[in-house]
Amino acid sequence: MQHIILLVILVFTTNLFSQNSSLFIPIDVSEAYENGTRTYDGTVSNSYWINHTDYNIDVEFIPDSNLVFGLSKMIYYNNSPDTLNEIVIRLYHNREKPFGDGMIIKSISIRGDSIDVTSQDVRVNGTNMSIKLDEIILPNKKIEMEIDWSFEIPKVPLRMGNYNGDYFIAYWYPQIAVYDDVYGWDKLQYAGPIEFYNDFNNYNIRYTVPADYVIWSTGDLVNEELVFQENIIKKIKEAKNSDKTINIITLDDYANNSVTLKNESGKNIWNYVANKVPDVAWAVSNNYNWDASSIEVEPGRRVLASGVYPDSITQNKNSSLYARKSIKYLSEVSPGVPYPWLHSTAFTNKRSGGGMEFPMIQNNGAPKSIGSSVGLIFHEIAHNYFPFYMGTNERRAAWMDEGWATFFPRNLVEKLDTTSNYQKGRVVSYESLAGKTKDIPMIYPSYMMTHGEMRNNFYNRPAIAYEELRHLLGDELFHKSLREYINRWHEKHPIGYDFFFTFNDVVGEDLSWFWKPWFFELGYPDLAIENVEVNKNSATISVAMVGSLPTRIELTILFEDGKTKTVSASASQLKGQTKVDVKINTSKKIKSIKLGSELIPDINRGNNLFEM
């Protein structure tokens, strides 16, 4: 009886806590919580499930014609309690239509039976292909499929493509879409800017390319002795145990024909294997340098940090070093979780800037400044945590990954480039849109955003919200909450509410007063000095909250003798208040008081100075 009473109390308390949060939860999302696959305290329910796929892919790339041919054998596991009468396949390259043929599907077989790709049971809508199943997939059952496909690499390289004879290939295979407990099948179209939402799958891939080409890929190369010459294998092993950068492949190695093995067929097959990863991408070149070193991220496990770049781009010759330092910082400091994979490869694509992340490998441009280079490499590597380790839905909530990848790099960027003011740049960028038409609440679905809204909504506003949250909670509690969120939800599909509720649970406080204005509402940050009252041995400074987004309070007092004093107050003092009185004890004569700093967002700094 006591156990029953305790259970009732726990259920009542949890429901009361969620009801008091005052966060709006859409009906389709709240159903997952009411059905028990999600919990209001942010923990992972015993009823939670996630599906996945085993991919066995043979793919051949012909550089001379820009063509990729593949045969994919897939086993899809329905771990859900639902019966599935269709299966949804993503055909990313259909985005290239009408400028190209898109993804060409030559044949499909399901459970060994051939499917007519022109029948009404196979419906192609943009980048999605839905196949109606003659035989449904029951709960906790699996289905085997085989697809023969091909596509032409896009002529204009953006997130992938032909970079003057060197290649980065992504979004390249027919991929089974996510079926989850909130939205069912993910049928959102791939339009380019809205990126990932994938299950954690297992891959066994055999890449066939001309024998003089090298392939770097997501996953682990399991047949290096069949593709690399002994001197390269020796240097790879050295780099895997070295804190110092090893030049694994150089232009001299290519010139001396001492990189890859040659055989009568004129081709090599590179076998890469990856388990529990959300996607795979690969790079191909017959002239790129490869530098690498490694870093121990936890006892007995080292991570290989590689830089792959053309000799002509000198600024990226330190890319492997920047990758190593990024992995070290992410593993040891923030978020302070060991990097989850065995390697990371920073590929340079000859463009001037920008980058695109994939598990264990990034497709990066080559910005000229050290700060921009470090920031880019760090940002893309950080995505291995969000969304690749955490499985977040970037199509609907890009702030859950781009925001973190923007938040993390600051300290390392400013350390390696002392001329950089990384955080100030984020604040200035956010302030330029804060409170304006394009400043749309982050909780709105990401696929609704235009380009101008994306940069603010995905990157700057969430990164600044996380920074203000860090100051609010203190560094220790903030990172304790973040690590618990990662610990609970890695290799799953957390949504925004799982993030909010986990932090609430760890902090022991409903933080809706912070979540609501920063993530759910229209508004902007703007504090102002309203009044200053000076007494004999003290001064009281009234700070008004003109805007609706809470930030920390920082006051710099300039005295008549030229000395200054800085006083800080937590954003928590603004909870439910429109004004805060900050008292300082001093008998010295005050000349002026300045509110805020360049690192705290405030759209109107004209009301931040009070002169006596």
In DSSP notation, 534-564 reads E-SSEEEEEEEE-SSS---EEEEEEETTS-E
Beta bridge partners of 590: 559
pLDDT attached to residue 21:
66
Mean residue pLDDT across the chain: 94
For residues 402-411, give the mean pLDDT: 98
Query: Cβ distance 138 to 188 under 8 Å?
Result: no
The secondary structure of 317-347 as a DSSP string is: GGHHHHHHHHHHHHHHTSS----SSSEEEEE
| Rounded-to-integer distance, Cα 110 and Cα 299, Å | 44
pLDDT recorded at residue 255:
97
Q: Count CB atoms within 10 A of the CB of residue 612.
A: 12
Out of 93-102, 145-154, 231-240, 262-271, pick the least confident. Answer: 93-102
Name the CATH architecture for the domain at 527-611: Sandwich (2.60)
CB 461 within 8 A of CB 429: no
227 falls in which pLDDT band (50, 70, 90)?
very high
- Averaged pLDDT for residues 300-313: 96
Confidence class for position 159, pLDDT limits 50, 70, 90 = confident
What 3-state DSSP class applies to 464? Answer: helix
Express each pLDDT in 162-205 by its tens digit.
999 999 999 999 999 999 999 999 999 998 888 899 999 999 99
Interhelix angle 496-507/475-489, nearest 10 degrees: 130
Task: From residue 74, give the alpha-carbon distance in Å to each of 56, 77, 146, 218.
Answer: 6, 10, 6, 18
Domain boundaries, the chain: 53-321+357-363, 527-611
Of 455, 463, 462, 371, which Cα lies nearest the Cα of 420? 371
pLDDT digits (tens, 9 = 90+) for 367-389: 999 999 999 999 999 999 999 99
Give the residue among 356, 344, 308 at the shortest CA–CA distance from 157: 356
Give the global pTM: 0.95
pLDDT of residue 563 exceeding 70: yes
Mean pLDDT of 134-157: 94
- SS3 labels along 565-600: EEEEECHHHHCCCCEEEEEEECCCCEEEEEECCCCC
Whether the domain at 53-321+357-363 and the domain at 527-611 fall into the same CATH topology: yes
Instruction: Check if the beta carbon of residue 39 is closer than 8 Å to that of residue 46.
Output: no
Confidence of residue 55 (pLDDT cuts 50, 70, 90): very high
Specify whether the CB–CB gap between 610 and 582 falls below 8 A.
Answer: no
Please tell me the distance from the alpha carbon of residue 403 to that of residue 456, in angstroms, as a whole number: 10
Extract the tokens encoding 137.
């997939």
- Tell me which fold the domain 53-321+357-363 belongs to: Immunoglobulin-like (2.60.40)
Confidence grade of residue 155 (pLDDT, cut at 50, 70, 90): confident
Mean pLDDT over 495-501 rounds to 98
Residue 12 has pLDDT above 60, yes or no: no
The confidence score (pLDDT) of residue 226 equals 98
Per-residue pLDDT tens over the stretch 241-289: 999 999 999 999 999 999 999 989 999 999 999 999 999 999 999 999 9
pLDDT tens-digit readout, 13-47 = 444 444 446 899 999 999 999 999 999 999 999 99
Does the structure show a pLDDT above 90 at 154?
A: no
As a whole number of angstroms, the distance between CA 546 and CA 540 comes to: 19
Q: Is the C-alpha dihedral spanning 218, 219, 220, 222 positive or negative? A: negative
Give the SS3 label for residue 93. helix
Which tokens sit at 206?
């055999």
C-beta separation of 14 from 508 below 8 A = no
Q: Which pair of structure tokens corresponds to residue 26?
A: 């859409």
Q: How far apart are CA 491 and CA 484, in angstroms?
A: 14
* 431 neighbors 464 (Cβ within 8 angstroms): no
Q: How would residue 4 be classed by pLDDT, with cut points 50, 70 and 90?
A: very low
Residue 7 predicted with pLDDT over 60: no
* Percent above pLDDT 90 for the chain: 90
The answer, yes or no, to whether residue 574 has pLDDT greater than 60, is: yes
Q: Mention every residue, 6+ apart, whose C-beta is less than 8 A from residue 21.
A: 500, 501, 504, 510, 512, 515
Q: What is the pLDDT of residue 194?
A: 80
Q: What is the mean pLDDT of residues 508-532?
A: 97
Q: Are 205 and 55 in contact (CB under 8 A)?
A: yes
484 has pLDDT over 50: yes
How would residue 2 be classed by pLDDT, with cut points 50, 70 and 90? very low
Give the span between the Cα atoms of 50 and 582, in whole angstroms: 50
pLDDT of residue 450: 83
Q: Decide if pLDDT at 365 tops 80.
A: yes
Determine contact, residues 401/392, Cβ cutoff 8 Å.
yes
Mean pLDDT of 523-528: 98
Res 315: pLDDT = 87
